Chain A
Amino acid sequence: MSDTILETEGLTKEFRGFVAVSDVDLRVRRGTIHGLIGPNGAGKTTCFNLLTKFLQPTRGTIRYDGRDITGKKPAEVARLGLVRSFQISAVFPHLTVLENVRVALQRQRGGSFDFWRSETLLRQYDDRAMALLEDVGIAPYAHLQAGELPYGRKRALEIATTLALDPVMMLLDEPTAGMAHEDVDRIVALVKRVSAGRTVLLVEHNLRVVAGLCDTITVLTRGRVLAEGDYASVSRNPEVIAAYLGTEADKVGVPQHV
């Protein structure tokens, strides 16, 4: 088993001439938490979309777990254990919170084409789903319609749903955006806990979260990789300070993305 789980070569995405991601070579080591940071519009989400095949790259290749996934479909990539969350929270609004997680559980156990309802099967899903909701702290809302959840709880639900797939590698796009302080701490603890035995690629604006979680950090600006390393080295890099932190370099660790 190789040390690198995800590797891109010359990954590039152009939108009608505008280069959103340019020649990115990314290497994510197995079992680490890897941060992807950068100012607004740097191309982080576009990168995620490329990696999970929601966008087709203009150029470049993506290798995941030893195989080339450049030509695969999103659902196929997900079934290989590479699972993402969305920046703009995406839940199934007309299903209950519990059902949201259950859809992921049944998929993970290969049941999406199961036309027959077996009560034992469903109950088994429900138990596991409740445990996951417990984990992210929204168990009391299990029977609410997911669309009615406040924003921060939707994000928590998304993480629970992602976890339900028992992914080999998780891609989390700003998991704590819009959350209250204590919820952020909960999610940080959760990500830390579930990262055992998995790889996590994390986009975050909250540098406190990044500093606390990430083993390696890649800084992206205008679609290009600007720097890479651990938090200490990256946050000292003058180019990063100039591009990302601007004049408020002294406030490293505090800036909060709005």
Chain B
Amino acid sequence: MAENLLLQALSGLASASSLFLVAAGLTVIFGVTRIVNFAHGSLYMLGAYLAWTLVTALPRGPLGFWGGVLGAALLVGLIGVLVEVLLLRRIYRAPELFQLLATFGVVLIVQDLALLVWGPQDLLGPRAPGLRGSVEILGLRFPLYDLFLIAVGPAVLGLLLLLFHRTRWGTLVRAATQDREMVGALGVNQRLLFTSVFFLGACLAGLGGALQLPRESVNLHMDLAIIVEAFVVVVVGGLGSLVGAFLAALLIGELHAFGILVFPRITLVLVFLVMAVVLVLRPHGLLGRPPEAPPAGAGGAEPPLRPAPPALRRLGAAALAAAVLLPPFADAYALSVLTEMAIFVLFAASLHFIMGPGGMASFGHAAYFGLGAYAAALLAKWAAAPMAAGLLLAPFAAGLFGLLFGWFCVRLSGVYAAMLTLAFAQIAWSVAFQWVEVTGGDNGILGVWPDAWAADPLAYYYLTLAFCLGATLLLRRVLHAPFGYALRAQRDSPLRAEALGVDAFQVRWLAFSLAALAAGIAGGFFAYAKGSVFPTALSIPRSVDALLMVLLGGVRTLSGPIVGAIAFTGLQEQLMRLVELWRLALGAVIVALVLFFPQGLAGAARAAYERRHGPAGA
């Protein structure tokens, strides 16, 4: 028994090492550039693929293998430089959510490029020459390569610390981590510094990926799998802290190793629970420091809300008339797309509610959408309840979890808030994914069909339209009501709001829960529209969809999320139907959006309108 535990601990250490390599790069990059690089997992994956190509192409033997691994790391470093120069350099001053989104666009692009180059099948690499066998520890066999990996973690940490403390470049990096402006003032070439830091971080990610070659097969899911874990490690350790990342990697590695033994069913939840607990107890991670300036919400400068100008009202009325009058002439496919649009309009509006006027960042809004969907589906599956009951339960369940998760999330701001919302969403996702008996796991819940009276797609469309549009208009109304003013007031100046007796925490908490409830309504209708629910309903890509809709439309206008949801749903639908590499296209659209259209479609339309007519409404 004791031997088993020791081996488990050792294999935990081995995983911790690779996790640390990735997390170290992520945290160093964040420390200097303040960018949370979603694409870091993609760099890791590219490291593994490139290592496979190099190692299989180079002559067999130690030189070929290790040369391949190091070559892959360097190549990934160069790819990182490319990403930095072409994209990130232009968005260092953008709001955090834009940065997260832009790097997520890179994730999508790399996924399809990797698919193009290496194909969909898993690739197996050779074992490491000289480290093929295993050693005997307390009578049990342990792979030699894992032992080697255990040593790699501390070795890299030591080298990095030496680099940062013993070289001029390292001193500059540390100075920049503490105070970005100061380095600019010192007359250091900031661009070069940022690019070189990105090179180093990307190399580390590539090395982490390349070193996985002898351990596991290379596949297209490596990127998201590792990035979420690396986020956890970096956030738990404290953003920007190398030693913190190392400690957190050990913690998470061991948690995985022993979690499997003790709670085999909830290993995934465990990791995110630990992260949530750490963030609640130490809002800036184990060794992190609070950010210099409280980061603003996702909005940036925002004009006051004004009643919609006549032109917009007329446009809205026309769109509504079209949404009501045209569908009887639509075919089944068009109807399903229209239903989805109505659902996503509400989903996007609920996210906008907290992001724009609320000034809070959420990277896990799909949690509440998915919880609504699962609540409806579970009720249908286990209680054979009528549709009305499911649709009613959906917002309640989502709202309740909104209250619970929100109580933690709204205390934090900026990146940490985004990460905590992400963590809670991943907890929800893990439960749906791992609790197979109840949720069906990856197979989802099937047969969630509307009752007879709403079974006709047209009838269901009208039902969805009525409720989703109604809820969207209600949210809009709340924003113009006293609560909406309190919400925007606390976003603009929390101190001033407190001084006026507005309890900023309560206002944020309630707004968060209200948004969750609204997302739950959307989720319930989504379940019955699709006839099924899968864990993807609460996954990261779903959260990103919502963010894209909001940003596509524009954060700063109330009509933004509506326009954005319609545009996004239409766009994605067409892309998936017509373009083989739709991820690549979508990723490119995201990147272009962030670079050239930061105020979104409705924002751009509004700017154009104001140029002609003077200040207008939202």
Same complex for A and B? Answer yes
Interface residues, chain A, CB within 8 Å of chain B?
Answer: 52, 54, 73-76, 78-79, 83-86, 90-96, 99-100, 102-104, 106-108, 111-117, 121, 145, 147, 161, 165
Nearest chain-A residue to B357 (Cβ)?
A94
Q: A116-B477, A116-B481 are in contact. Are A74 and B492 (CB under 8 A)?
A: no
Nearest chain-A residue to B496 (Cβ)?
A90
Contact A92 B492 (CB under 8 A): yes
Find chain A residues with CB under 8 A from B510 CB: 113
Contact B493 A113 (CB under 8 A): no
Contact B500 A104 (CB under 8 A): yes
**Of the candidates B480, B495, B502, which one forms a contact with A90 in the assembled complex, judged by CB atoms under 8 Å apart?**
B495
Q: How far is the CA of A24 from the CA of B243 in the complex (A)?
A: 43
**Of the candidates A52, A93, A102, A108, which one forms a contact with B499 in the assembled complex, judged by CB atoms under 8 Å apart?**
A52
Q: A115-B481, A117-B480, A165-B500 are in contact. Are A94 and B486 (CB under 8 A)?
A: no
Contact A79 B501 (CB under 8 A): yes
Contact B478 A115 (CB under 8 A): yes
Find chain A residues with CB under 8 A from B304 CB: 94-96, 99, 145
Contact B488 A73 (CB under 8 A): no
Find chain B residues with CB under 8 A from A103 CB: 485-486, 489, 497, 500, 502
Find chain A residues with CB under 8 A from B485 CB: 95, 99, 102-103, 106
Q: In angstroms, how far is the closest chain B Cβ from the Cβ of A142? A: 12
**Of the candidates B301, B480, B481, B495, which one forms a contact with A54 in the assembled complex, judged by CB atoms under 8 Å apart?**
B495
Nearest chain-B residue to A95 (Cβ)?
B304
Q: A75-B502, A103-B502 are in contact. Are A112 and B496 (CB under 8 A)?
A: no
Q: How far is the CA of A113 from the CA of B504 in the complex (A)?
A: 11
Find chain B residues with CB under 8 A from A96 CB: 304
Q: How far is the CA of A145 from the CA of B500 in the complex (A)?
A: 19
Q: Most chain-A CB neighbours within 10 Å: which of B478, B482, B502, B506?
A: B482
Contact B507 A112 (CB under 8 A): yes
**B483 interface contact, C-beta 8 A:** yes
Q: How large is the interface on B (under 10, 10 to 19, 20 to 34, 35 or more residues)?
A: 20 to 34
Contact B501 A86 (CB under 8 A): no
The 17 listed contacts between A and B (C-beta, < 8 Å) are: A79-B501, A84-B499, A90-B495, A90-B496, A95-B485, A95-B492, A103-B485, A104-B500, A112-B507, A114-B481, A114-B483, A115-B483, A117-B480, A117-B481, A117-B482, A117-B484, A165-B500
Find chain A residues with CB under 8 A from B498 CB: 54, 73-75, 78
Q: How far is the CA of A86 from the CA of B7 in the complex (A)?
A: 60
Contact A95 B495 (CB under 8 A): no
Q: How far is the CA of A75 from the CA of B489 in the complex (A)?
A: 14
Contact A73 B301 (CB under 8 A): no
Contact with A along B539-570 (1 / 0, CB 8 A): 00000000000000000000000000000000
Nearest chain-A residue to B304 (Cβ)?
A96
**B302 interface contact, C-beta 8 A:** yes
Q: How far is the CA of A143 from the CA of B301 in the complex (A)?
A: 17
Contact A73 B503 (CB under 8 A): yes
- Known contacts A116-B477, A116-B481; 18 additional CB pairs below 8 A are A73-B498, A78-B498, A86-B495, A86-B496, A93-B492, A94-B304, A94-B492, A95-B304, A95-B492, A100-B489, A102-B485, A103-B486, A108-B501, A114-B483, A115-B478, A117-B484, A145-B304, A147-B301
Contact B483 A113 (CB under 8 A): yes
Q: How far is the CA of A161 from the CA of B499 in the complex (A)?
A: 10
Q: In angstroms, how far is the closest chain B Cβ from the Cβ of A202? A: 16
Find chain A residues with CB under 8 A from B503 CB: 73, 75, 112
Contact B488 A78 (CB under 8 A): no
Contact A92 B502 (CB under 8 A): no
**B303 interface contact, C-beta 8 A:** yes
**Of the candidates A83, A111, A117, which one forms a contact with B500 in the assembled complex, judged by CB atoms under 8 Å apart?**
A83
Find chain B residues with CB under 8 A from A112 CB: 482-483, 486, 502-503, 507
Q: How far is the CA of A86 from the CA of B498 in the complex (A)?
A: 12
Nearest chain-B residue to A52 (Cβ)?
B499
Q: How far is the CA of A121 from the CA of B482 in the complex (A)?
A: 9
The 8 A-B pairs with the shortest beta carbon distances in the complex, nearest first, are: A78-B501, A92-B492, A117-B481, A114-B482, A90-B496, A74-B498, A111-B482, A106-B482
Q: A95-B485, A106-B482, A145-B303 are in contact. Are A75 and B501 (CB under 8 A)?
A: yes
Contact B488 A94 (CB under 8 A): yes
Nearest chain-A residue to B492 (Cβ)?
A92
Q: How far is the CA of A100 from the CA of B488 in the complex (A)?
A: 10
Nearest chain-B residue to A112 (Cβ)?
B486
Contact with A along B302-319 (1 / 0, CB 8 A): 111000000000000000
Find chain B residues with CB under 8 A from A161 CB: 496, 500
Q: In angstroms, how far is the closest chain B Cβ from the Cβ of A198? A: 16
Q: How far is the CA of A90 from the CA of B490 in the complex (A)?
A: 12
Contact A83 B499 (CB under 8 A): yes
Q: How far is the CA of A114 from the CA of B481 in the complex (A)?
A: 7
Find chain A residues with CB under 8 A from B480 CB: 117
Contact with A along B85-116 (1 / 0, CB 8 A): 00000000000000000000000000000000
**Of the candidates B301, B481, B499, which one forms a contact with A86 in the assembled complex, judged by CB atoms under 8 Å apart?**
B499
Find chain B residues with CB under 8 A from A78 CB: 498-501
**Of the candidates A74, A95, A165, which one forms a contact with B489 in the assembled complex, judged by CB atoms under 8 Å apart?**
A95
Contact B493 A91 (CB under 8 A): yes
